[in-house]
Structure 1
Amino acid sequence: MRAAFVTPGAYPVPAPRGGSVERVVENFVPLLADNLEVRIYGRTAKGLPRRGMLHGARCERVRAPGRRAYLSGVVAGLRVYRPQLIEVENRPRMVPLLKRKFPGARVWLHLHSNTFISGKAISPRELQECLGAADRILVNSFFLKADVERRSPRVASKLGVVYPGVDPARFGRPTVRETIRSAHGWQHRQIVLFAGRLIPLKGVHHLIAALPALIRRHPNVLLVIVGSPFYGSSRTSAYSRKLLRMARPWRRYVHFEPYASHDQMPAWFSMADVAVVPSVRREAFGLVNVEAMASGLPVVACRVGGMTEIVEDGVTGFLVDPRRLDAELPARISLLLEDEALRTRMGALGRERVVERFTWRHTAERWLAELYRDLEAAGEKE
């Protein structure tokens, strides 16, 4: 069976400098190559050929000066390839167009967030058309599944949950820990790590606001913030500059790392004691939670969105009430900083949970299970 995966076109595949959707595709699609013939469609980038292989998956890269040009290039490639299945990544508007162009193919939509199904991105009427045109709709959490059902109850039977994952072998390398700490002069600090984009949704301002309480109880604490407002760039924004101003009185206790590539992130996780994910609104999944747990770190996260499906409260970390963040966030972080045995136990259970449920191999297996269900349902209709 020939299957095509159409990425949004914002970043190439592979995407070393950012692009969360592209990163999911580049990690799990090659694992399908033992069962299917797979091709990934993305944009061109400096240093990448127009055509290439990625661990068994063929990559077709389109010159994309604009959205229309990208889509036209993808359609031209699909006409040559003639796939039986086309999966659109996170762009509902592409689905009806591809369904019209390729009426004999199954066209799936794989949603990685609710960004492009929200009222700001698409009207309710157009959303119904786009979701209705899809033969199957994959989502990355049960939270997002419920959100899609609420917006369009009639597509409930088309929905399937496929969690993203990590490669555990890349994370959890304790031998790197002291080397990195020594390089920064942090041998005797207790390190609280935030990793992610610096945007209001991620709640970093709440973490900085918790610093005075943490410093009083843990004078050697260091908050390390790894990330920038934009993928693959160290450019600042009004919000990131606000965070710098907030942290100025506590400069001895905060380190900003403006940008680190995905390949560099395992090293940053390895030198931390606790990971904090203070997203205040409902993220669909939150892959950083899984990466932290794969690294053997306990996680303190908000009880919102898909994060409740990843972090087991009181087992692999703590979930805090977003309405009581100012009190609960420093309290839970402090509890972990003062109890090494608790940190170690939660970190080990977190990594165990990742290995059992959240690897890219699990992602591929869940995707294949959705394929078999879809083919069975299509056969029944015939």
Structure 2
Amino acid sequence: MKKRIAIITTGYFPVPATRGGAVENLVENLINENERKGNVDLNIFSAYDKKAEKLSRKYKNTSFEFIKTPKIIKKLDLLIYYFFSKIAKKEKSMSYRYILQRLYFIDRVAFFLKENNYDRVVIENHATLFMAMKKHKNYLKYCGKYYYHLHNKVGSMYGCEDIIKQTYKVLGVSNYINGTLRELLGKTDIKYDVLPNRIDSTKFRENFSVEELTNLKESFDIKPGERVVLFSGRLNAEKGIRELLLAWKQLNKPNAKLLIVGSYYFASGMKSDYEQELKVLTESMKDKIIFSGYVDYNEIPKFLRIADVVVVPSVWDEPGSLSVIEALSAYKPLITTCTGGTSEYADNDSSIVLPNDEHLVDNIAKSLDELLDNREKRAEMTRRLKVKARNWGIGEFYNNFVDEMER
């Protein structure tokens, strides 16, 4: 009999991932692959979204519990976010954007866990979700059956330390991120395994028509023959976008443009002071830099296709960057940094992996100067990636996930 597996998503954005989100896109890839293979029955707990709910109806091997946030909670969350971002001027005001929504989401998930029976429960990333295991003593009901799919470093355990310590297994996106939790929790009986991030590589290797690619370039005033350097990700300080812009300022490449794809927080509509700072920084070179704003995830492969070089210059400890994996899966020459778990995905054999130190800006500039002027080196990096990342894909991720659920 097929196992019935509940996946508790973040409670921010929906699955299917109609509003973006790295974790949400990963879960969507998982349910798409399960639709093809059908090895397990999935039940997804997701924030409600009209478009996502409509898309969910096509799935036969996955059921959905969409949790709709009451309007009063949405309004109160906006007030809380306004206070911390505009009045208190908190640096990471994004953390305060969905506080009440998440608490409501957790309460409803806890109820469903109590009222139903699942063979496995998978908690996606955020430690607050363990409150759903705490309520109604669900952690006892699902003892030995709940897993923690860890994508980021845990900062707080929200009063759930003992329950987290009773997790059957942590499935981290890298050895690095597993190590951070192991250090935080100390000695426990938790099992740790790495479930490497993967994407739907077929989408990132799609053969777009010349007309499609030409139209995309023209929409951003990229002229024929101009080389394109691509950054794709959230416009946060930790992603190293400032360092990339400063490096670009050093270069004198009259026949190249820097294309910045992304926004502060996916499709939330939130704006940050940091974005405004970036716009000021780029004022003197605005004819060579393009800000696309938020782009639907399904469009990212097309943007990668027009790129000659991709830069992911993170200045924090990336657990397992999807932007890195996307570039590698698309066989694109990549410049990135040796931070966190990145070196478990990218290496200097097929990419340029730079130290995250005081010389980062200069080193990004030098690396870009070298790659943009060396077509042969770019071609060689692509050839090596076709070997390294040939079998990377959501099929591998799905098989690994199902295997973990069987253990």
In the TM superposition, residue 40 of structure 1 has moved relative to its aligned partner by 0.9
Match of 1:379 in 2: none
Residues in 1 aligned to 2:319 and 2:236: alpha-carbon distance in whole angstroms: 16
User: Deviation of residue 130 (structure 1)?
Assistant: 3.7
Of 278, 290, 306, the match for 1:243: 278
Aligned-pair distance for 1:96?
A: 5.9
* Map of 1:205 onto structure 2: 242
Change (3 A) 1:29 1:46: closer
Is 1:47 aligned to residue 84 of structure 2? no
- 1: CA distance, partners of 2:51 / 2:161: 40
Q: CA RMSD in A?
A: 2.2
Please give the secondary structure, in 2, of the residue aligned with 1:54: coil
Give the match's secondary structure for 1:4: strand
- Say yes or no: does 1:111 pair with 2:153: no
Q: CA deviation at 1:344?
A: 1.6
Counterpart CA distance in 2 for 1:244 and 1:94 is: 36
Residue equivalent to 1:359:
393
CA contact (8 A) 1:16 1:263 kept: no
- Do the aligned residues in 1 keep the contact of 2:15 with 2:52 (CA within 8 Å)? no
For residues 209-220 of structure 1, what are the structure 2 equivalents within 5 Å? 209-215=246-252, 218-220=253-255
Distance in 2 (alpha carbons) for counterparts of 1:55 and 1:223: 42
**What residue number does 2:227 align with?**
190
| Correspondent of 1:38 among 37, 42, 45 | 42
Could you list the runs of 4 or more consecutive aligned residues of structure 1 that deviate by over 6 angstroms after TM superposition? none
Could you say if the C-alpha distance between residues 155 and 220 of structure 1 is closer, same or farther in structure 2, counting changes exceeding 3 Å? farther
Equivalent pair of 1:95/1:133 in contact (CA under 8 Å) = no
TM-score relative to the length of structure 2: 0.83
State the one-letter code of the partner of 1:201: E
Cα distance between partner residues in 1 of 2:208 and 2:381: 16
| Counterpart residue number, 1:158 | 191
Matched residue of 2:57: which SS?
A: strand
1:181 aligns with 2:222: no
How many Å separate the matches in 2 of 1:127 and 1:355? 41
What is the CA–CA distance in structure 1 between the aligned matches of 2:45 and 2:66, rounded to whole Å? 6
Q: Does 1:297 align with 2:328?
A: no
Distance 2:113 2:294 in 1: 36
Q: Can you give the 5+ residue segments of structure 1 that lack an aligned partner in the other structure?
A: 374-382
- Picking from 16, 21, 30, the partner of 2:18 is 16
Q: Which residue of 2 aligns with 1:227?
A: 262
Contact 2:166–2:190 (8 Å) recurs in 1: no
User: Deviations 1:253-306 (Å, cap 9, x if unpaired)?
Assistant: 111111111011111111110000011110111101111122221110011111
Q: Hey, what does 1:140 align to over in structure 2? A: 173
Does the Cα contact within 8 Å between 1:93 and 1:130 map onto a contact in 2?
A: no
Deviations 1:192-243 (A, max 9, x none): 110001000001111110123321xx32121111111121145431111111
Correspondence for 2:370 among 315, 335, 342: 335
**What is the distance in 2 between the residues matched to 1:227 and 1:67?**
24
Alignment counterpart, residue 315 of structure 2, candidates 267, 280, 285: 280
Deviation, structure 1 residue 251: 1.3
Q: Secondary structure at 1:296's aligned position in 2?
A: coil
Q: Is the 8 A contact 1:63 1:73 kept in 2?
A: no
CA distance in 1, matches of 2:129, 2:288: 47
Point out the more displaced range, 300-309 or 78-87.
78-87
In the TM superposition, residue 185 of structure 1 has moved relative to its aligned partner by 3.7
Amino acid at match of 1:94: L
Query: What is the deviation of 1:44?
Result: 1.2
Question: Could you tell me whether the CA contact under 8 Å between 1:3 and 1:38 is conserved in 2?
Answer: yes
Shift of 1:335: 1.3
Q: State the aligned residue count.
A: 363
Kept in 2, the 8 Å contact 1:302–1:321? The answer is yes
Whether contact under 8 Å (1:193, 1:275) holds in the other structure is yes
CA distance in 2, matches of 1:235, 1:108: 32
Letter of the aligned partner of 1:47 in structure 2?
K
Q: Choose which of 61, 64, 68 in structure 2 pairs with 1:59.
A: 64
- Structure 2 unmatched ranges of 5 or more: 71-100
Instruction: Name 1:93's counterpart in structure 2.
Output: 128
Amino acid at match of 2:217: R
Q: Which amino acid aligns with 2:49?
A: A
CA distance in 1 between counterparts of 2:53 and 2:250 reads 52
For the residues of structure 1 that align with 2:112 and 2:13, how far apart are their CA atoms? Answer: 18
